[in-house]
Structures are given as C-alpha cells and as structure tokens.
Structure 1
C-alpha cells in the first residue's frame, strides 16, 4: 500500500472515530416508559418528625414492578394508585375498618421520594398506631 493511501485511510478512520460520537443527539430516549415512583416511608413516636423517636423506615417502588422493604408493597402501591398518590385520601379507602382505642400516643409518618414523576414530601401525625394503620390503609401498615 502506498504511503499516501495509508495516510488517507488513517485520516478517514480517525475522523470517523472522533466525529462519529458527536453526530449522536445530545438527549437520549428515556430508560423506561413509566414515571418513577420510589418512596421512603418512616414512622416514629411523637408529634413531629423533627422530634419523634424513629421506629422504622421502609421503601416501596411502584414503577413497572413493585418492590421494596415494605411488608406488602403490592397492596401499598395499589392503594396509592386508587387515591392517585394523595396520602390524605388514604383514609377514604374502605376495607380496613377496625375499632381503635382512644388513647393518645402520637405517631408520626413521613413519606419522601417521587410518585409518578412528582416530588413527594409528606408528614402526618396520628393519635395512635391503630388509627395510623386504619386511616393509612395498607400503605402505612408497616
């Protein structure tokens, strides 16, 4: 092979190697067709999250498949889907009515993360853990 031809081929390969990646669009397709839904839920004894004694924290992922450390992630995701991610409306769901005592032992629940692509930062104080599990449906039953 002549030296001039070799230089021309080397130049063409070098140009392709350097300029090739530059011709790809700057944005790429989303990794998933589903909006992210990953939440961290905590529960603690007290009236406010800032002063509560932490007891437990669980995770729940409600994207394409459900997963997490929540004891019943599928039920929790189904309840959240039924109320469209509005945690205050969980109390309107039927099926978890149980009598609770009227004792006042405040328990605070926090939820942070993303629900269907929207940032979530939720805190609610219940009078006791029975009311938390009744009004929070299966989402707060941990």
Structure 2
C-alpha cells in the first residue's frame, strides 16, 4: 500500500511539473485573422549608373509592396503595382517605350528588383542604355 501511495504522489507531481507550464493563462482574445489571403508581393528596387549590378553601387533604392495593398517608399506605389500586375510581374513585359524619343547616348543604367512577387522569389537585373530608355520602358515601376 505504501508503494502505491508513493507512485501516486510521484505521478501527480510529474504530471504537474510537465503539464503545468503548458496550461498557462488563457489568451484575452482569439488569434487575429490573417492580414490577407493574397500571396505577399514586396520588392526592393535599386538603380545605379553602370553596366552591371555587381560592379555598380546603387544610387537610389526604394521599397514596393503590392499585397494586400500598394505601399512602400516608391514615389507612385499604386501605379507601379498596377503596372506590375498587368505585366504578370514580368519586368520585360512592362512596355516598349511607346512614344518616347531618346538619344543614342550610351550612359548605362542598371536596375535590380529583388524580393517576392505573388509568393514567388524574384531577382531581376536589367541594364538600359540610358535614363531615358529606362524611364520609357519602366513607366511607373522604374520611375524612382
């Protein structure tokens, strides 16, 4: 009988020691709902003067988040997000320069886009012959 009482006491203390910290205080309110059901879209865009991002220091960098809504320090985040959505996130599909008239001057500009677009990792580097061509091709996305 003595062994049974000791076993019961040991088992009770062990259960209290193991399960006690797990009980904790009940939360004041249930967990909040997720902020959005959309996949994240957040990018860091940089621009520098040179032919390659590996050999060129960025002159300017901005952030652009498009989901759940346009935000970041991009000068026109709403327009940039709309253009990227229209192009399916493909920088090459942004535009052809339309009616822009650019000189033939060669002063290379390199642009990078790194981050996540609709839940998938994106790392893009594009070199344009000059700022005019970059602005014409990138429209609102690369105008920063």
- TM-score higher than 0.5: yes
TM-score by length of 1: 0.76
- Partner of 2:60 in structure 1? 56
- Which of 122, 125, 128 is the matching residue for 1:126? 128
Match of 1:109 in 2: 111
**Structure 1 residue 16: deviation in Å?**
7.9
Of 70, 78, 85, the residue aligned with 2:89 is 85
1:93 Cα shift? Answer: 7.8
Secondary structure, aligned partner of 1:54: coil
CA RMSD of aligned residues (A): 2.6
Match for residue 42 of structure 2?
A: 38
Alpha-carbon distance between aligned partners in 2 of 1:92 and 1:42, rounded to the nearest angstrom? 21
The gaps in structure 1 that reach 5 residues or longer are 1-7, 21-28
Structure 1 segments, 4+ long, off by >6 Å, are none
Deviation, structure 1 residue 51: 0.8
Q: Please list every run of 5 or more consecutive structure 2 residues that lacks an aligned counterpart in the other structure.
A: 1-11, 25-32
- Max radius of gyration: which structure? 2
Q: TM-score, normalised by structure 2?
A: 0.75
